Amino acid sequence: MPISEEIIVRSELRWAAISVGVVSVIMIALIYAGLVHHINPPSNIERIDPKTLHLGGEFTEANLGTRVSGDGQVTSRIVATQFTFQPRCIVLPANRRVTLRFATPDVIHGILVSGTNVNTMIVPGYVSQVHTVFTRTGDLLMPCHEYCGLGHSEMSATVRVVPPDEFKPDAEGRVACDAR
Amino acid sequence: MNRREASDEDLERVMREVPRGAFALAGLAVGALLAAWLLIYFLVFLPRGMVG
């Protein structure tokens, strides 16, 4: 008895249902991660002039690094440039919501913080912003993960996550690696 | 060994078996892929915590 058209159609429909099921499981898992665990792709859109980055505004040298504002918000500002980060080490508290803000004056860079979900591109002309909560203390590696030129492999920084009681801002609200 | 020409019935019999094996192989491959995805999701992605 030859295989009937009906059997072929039925098996193809079964596979279509399995495919839809797999995609649905993945979509539901991603929506669950976003709504319940607040794991979302960074979506900040903010323009900045890369030519005058260092001359004024929040990414001047004096403003870089970690600072705690009056309302307790912890923000770290980092400039990614060929082939280093400025500053090369930042201090952040564990178990507290922190904001990382990046800008670049030259080419496209990217960062990730090892062992965390922090991962973003840094594009000239835009401020990249990531909110996160670090749960593990210690020195975490933050390499550039977007090829940016011959020195790309040397481009990395350290994120020093300290217990909340060791996170002590100075009178201006600053916390730096060498000051600890 | 007794050799003979394959008949139409032989061909039909094999063709009834082949799709079953293909589905088993494809199901195993897709199942392994989904299992690996879910393992990374639950054991690596979620424990790494919030970001946005």
The per-residue pLDDT string of chain A (180 residues; one tens digit each, 9 = 90 and over) reads 566 788 788 888 999 999 999 999 999 999 999 999 999 998 889 999 999 998 988 999 999 999 999 899 999 999 999 999 999 999 999 999 999 999 999 999 999 999 999 999 999 999 999 999 999 999 999 999 999 999 999 999 999 999 999 999 999 999 999 865
Q: Tell me which CATH homologous superfamily contains domain A50-175.
A: Cupredoxins -  blue copper proteins (2.60.40.420)
Distance between CA B2 and CA B47 in Å, rounded? 63
User: Which residues, numbered 103 to 142 in chain A, qualify as contacts with chain B under a Cβ-Cβ cut-off of 8 Å?
Assistant: 115-119, 130-135
**Vertex A162: Cα angle to A76 and A45 (nearest 5):** 25
A contacts of B23 (beta carbons < 8 Å): 11, 15
Closest to A110 measured CA to CA, from A159, A155, A59: A155
Does B27 contact A at CB distance below 8 Å? yes
Q: What is the pLDDT of residue B4?
A: 75
- Between chains, do A116 and B45 touch, taking CB under 8 Å as contact? no
How many Å lie between the alpha carbon of A83 and the closest alpha carbon of chain B? Answer: 26
ipTM score for this prediction: 0.81
pLDDT in tens, chain B (52 residues): 567 788 888 888 887 777 788 889 999 999 999 999 999 999 999 999 999 8
Cα of first residue to Cα of last residue in chain A, in angstroms, is 82
B25 contacts chain A (CB < 8 A) = no
- Residue B42 sits at the vertex; the CA angle it makes with A160 and B27, to the nearest 5 degrees, is 140
Q: Give A42's contacts in chain B (Cβ within 8 Å).
A: 51-52
| Closest B-chain CA to A115 | B48
What's the CA gap between A142 and A128, in Å, rounded?
A: 15
CB–CB contact A37 B16 (8 Å): no
- Answer yes or no: do B49 and A117 touch at CB < 8 A: yes
